Amino acid sequence: MQTDLLGNMKRYLKQTPTTTSHWTTEQDCFLIENNSLSIYELTVHLPFSEDEIRVRRAVLGLVRRDKQMKTY
């Protein structure tokens, strides 16, 4: 964290490395709308590996959303 001119603490978001995505908008929409499906089920419907789907879920913020929506 850094401080601004007034001494207030500033928090910066973690920068994710930019990569060229081979995902189409339609595929992103499918992943968002069907986020509750298992990774295996998503690999059946999408032309990507399990690792690629996991990475894309993280890029789209779906992993963080799952953690926030989780009831304790």
* Structural contact between residues 10 and 1, judged by C-beta atoms closer than 8 angstroms: yes
- Position 40 pLDDT exceeds 70: yes
Q: What is the domain partition of the chain in residue ranges?
A: 19-69
DSSP state of 31: H
Tokens of 18: 């930019």
Tokens of 44: 């059946």
The per-residue pLDDT for range 28-39, each reduced to its tens digit, is 999 999 999 999
Query: Which pTM value belongs to this model?
Result: 0.65
- Position 16 pLDDT exceeds 60: no
